[in-house]
Amino acid sequence: MREEGEQQGSRPTPDARLEGRVAVVTGAAGGIAQGIVEHLARLGADLVLLDINEQGLTALRDRLCADGRRVLALRCDVSDPQQVAATADQVEQEFDGCDLLVNNAGRLPSASSIERQSVQAWDDSMAVNVRGVFLCTQHFGRFMLRRQAGSIVNIASIGAGAPNASPPYAAAKAAVIAFTRQTAVEWGPRGVRANAVSPGFVRTPLSEHMYATTNMAQLRSAMVPLRRLGVPADIAGAVAFLLSDAAAYVNGQDLQVDGGFMQTTLMHAQLHEQQYGGTPS
């Protein structure tokens, strides 16, 4: 029972705070990533923001710096080994390394059937979504291995576990989850945890055109047990938990943050009047 005056959603417990830690976030100018970055800043982390979108990076950095956070924003193509290595060197010079890594940078190829899938789109997806995670884990992870402490969260997707409209995206995100488990087992004995977060349907500025011009928001919301689309803050909370000491014994897991969507396959194969226990939805 809560003590008098205690409110739900109050200040995070000490083991969820991130003061004194440096967090590297890739693809930081994206919609989900901005939610993650802002949440980590509120928890006290210093931030290294990486993206190829320099304008978006600058705006985000300025906003965070205005709130008193220590922020380093760098243009970096995570699929380029030389750029990632050089960026890691800069982070070492500025912060003496990092404690936390969020591999968020990704690329979603256009919908295509397998027989019409271009090799270039396939390779581009693998380069950012898979090679980028590997390179950043390798180069930024060395700081954590040196300290024998650290936490990595890779942003995967529910598309890794179910066929969808983009074959290279599905394959790439499945590889991200497999690599997460590999990292967790190899580096766990050396003090470094690795986990994945798989978002479901999340409404961001990048996807807004699809929801604003179609009835997709209504259709998808009706398929999610919580009856709404996700927002970046939903993903940010899960990422922050896995990064923090509150998840100190969580390693090698894929946390699906999808409102329960991936559990509904059989439910949607029932008669309409029998779905969801026959209760009004």
- C-alpha dihedral (220, 224, 226, 230), degrees to nearest 10: -60
Which residues are catalytic, by number? 169
pLDDT for 11 equals 65
| Dihedral over Cα of 51, 57, 58, 61: its sign | negative
Would you state the structure tokens that stand for residue 49, as one six-digit string? 């923001």
Rounded CA gap, 8 and 195, in Å? 27
pLDDT for 265 equals 81
Q: Is residue 4 pLDDT above 50, yes or no?
A: no
pLDDT for 130 equals 98
Rounded CA gap, 75 and 105, in Å? 12
Architecture of the CATH domain 16-109+118-276: 3-Layer(aba) Sandwich (3.40)
Q: In 3D, which of 73, 186, 97 has the Cα closest to residue 134?
A: 186
Q: How far is CA 140 from the centre of its chain?
A: 16
Q: Is residue 42 pLDDT above 90, yes or no?
A: yes
pLDDT for 272 equals 78
Q: Identify the bridge partners of residue 193 per DSSP, sorted by sequence position.
A: 151
Alpha-carbon distances of 121 from 79, 124, 157, rounded to whole Å: 14, 5, 18
Q: How many CA atoms lie within 13 A of 183 on its CB side?
A: 32
- Residue-wise pLDDT for 184-210, tens only, equals 999 999 999 999 999 999 998 878 878
| Dihedral over Cα of 223, 227, 232, 233: its sign | negative
Alpha helices in the chain (DSSP H): 31-42, 54-66, 81-95, 119-126, 132-147, 167-187, 208-213, 216-223, 232-243
In the chain, what percentage of residues exceed pLDDT 90? 78
- Residue-wise pLDDT for 202-255, tens only, equals 998 878 878 888 899 999 999 999 999 999 999 999 999 999 999 999 999 999
**What mean pLDDT do residues 128-156 have?**
98
Would you state the structure tokens that stand for residue 245, as one six-digit string? 């000491």
Alpha-carbon distances of 200 from 149, 225, 242, 280, rounded to whole Å: 30, 12, 17, 23
Q: How many CA atoms lie within 13 A of 243 on its CB side?
A: 31
| Dihedral over Cα of 110, 52, 73, 209: its sign | negative
**What mean pLDDT do residues 45-72 have?**
93
Better-predicted residue by pLDDT, 271 or 193: 193
Q: Is residue 102 pLDDT above 90, yes or no?
A: yes
Which residues, 6 or more positions from 50, have their beta carbon under 8 angstroms from its beta carbon?
24, 25, 26, 27, 28, 73, 74, 75, 76, 78, 87, 105
Q: What's the chain's Rg over C-alpha atoms?
A: 19
How high does pLDDT run on average in the chain? Answer: 91
Q: What is the pTM of this model?
A: 0.91
Q: Is residue 6 pLDDT above 60, yes or no?
A: no
